[in-house]
Structure 1
Amino acid sequence: MKLATLRRGGSTVAVRVDSDTSATVIDGVADLSALLADPSWSTIAENAAGETVDLADADYAPVVPHPGKIVCVGLNYANHIKEMGRELPEFPTLFAKFREALTGPYDDVVVPSYAASELDWEGELAFVVGKPAYQVAEADAEAYIAGYSVMNDYTMRDYQYRTLQWDQGKTFEKTSGFGPFLTTTDSYTFGGSLTTTLDGETMQSTTTDDLVFTPAKLVEYISHIVTLQPGDVVVTGTPGGVGHARKPGRYIQDGQTVEVTIDGLGTVRNKTVVR
């Protein structure tokens, strides 16, 4: 099953995506954050019988627009760790992104000119929590994941490396395209390819099974620190091929489009506007 949050008439609606061209409104539910707050969210979505929506001109909002937490994982693909000159880690590197950083999967990403000198691409697999998870074992973790989505994680490298803490380069306002769908675990097979392009040129191409810490391992690790709540988002890290690791470094310029595609999950496409 695929789900999405659409902007309509100055508000939003949650929908079940039935085909490439149509979706069904889940009546009484404003977005997927609200849907996931109900323990029966999957049944509600499956049984939805609201208005049929034509997706040809749909305006997609961030797929889960109001997560209580966004937990990001740094240095989690083996090939990216190696290109950055580091050893494979024993434990995940965690940092936070704020929900204000999220934007729609096809929105323009507007970057302040003062933060655009070392603007980098990071295509990422994200997963969304489906029920409260505290001290969950890896073997049981999949039952706590609602589904998967795509994150286009613009990164301001100059801000990121001003200090030892990365958050300031990772959470600029409305710079993380998120969506277009939440694909539930029963409809997605982990391990497909992740590809990031810049104006059509391939920059990253890796299968998601290159992750050092899988989604299940991350649920186990994070849930032994804090309770993961329904609608929380975990962004699992980016593979090798980032611009900052190139010699010389290569960065996103004004007007360029970053596109992130993950097999089975869809594509996020954001045009960069520097102002």
Structure 2
Amino acid sequence: MNQPTVAISLGAFGADLVRAQGQASFIPLLVSAGVKRIELREELFSPDVAHQDLPGLAHAIQVQGLECLYSAPIELWLEGDTKPNPELQPTLDRASACGAVWLKVSLGHFNERCDLAALADRLAPYAVHLLVENDQTEHGGRIEPFVQFFAAITALQMPIGMTFDIGNWRWHDQLASDAARALGRYVEYLHCKAITRNAAGKLIAVPPTPADLQDWRQLMQHMPTGVPRAIEYPLQGDDLLEVTREQVALLANLGSSSTPHSTETETLSHV
């Protein structure tokens, strides 16, 4: 039986390191660790995405046999606007240039006045599949707007999926279990990170404990079988390949009893 797809959001290696070394430099490590999908992070391109050789990056990913997902720090719906974010089109262009099959963005300020027909028109020319994610903002990190959004697009048979970020529900005291029951059927990509508070009281992402893994397995019972899942917690250590390989195996199986060492990582509002 084939194991589920495991991805790595490249921010897991630390924002500063990824910006310094470049996202392409992590491709060999991902392949060696058994990763099937790379999640590129637009905000981690240095100096910025405009100066990147995106077709070259697409080729580097393709020759290694990795699937590609492009993550962009934009909201699908801006506050006060009924039309989709005008940044969506150039972001779709960049995702396409990278050879991405999926584009992940935050939901943003969705309400019943948002023009879904305009969104369908915006997406129509592209082969890239759109995924919307719960983020850490008050408007984009609560369950109800996602229930409304997916009810609306389902009625219109619009092929948009959800990125379900397990940890982000904590920012506004939403229960991931409630979210999974309400939204699990729409989930096409699962962002995995455990959350704790650091000494300053700030919520931070950490690797999962065995109890976290068990909780995640319960959440996944509400989602499609074998849903692709991504590491979005810190991957750090003297032997980065071994650390990465161990964590990939944990997510692929979600049955290991080993407990990784917890370390902090940078978290951004859209992750």
* TM-score between the two structures when normalised by the length of structure 2: 0.28
Which structure's relative contact order is higher, taking Cα pairs within 8 Å and 6+ residues apart? 1
Question: Which structure has more helix as a fraction of its residues?
Answer: 2
Question: Which structure has more strand as a fraction of its residues?
Answer: 1
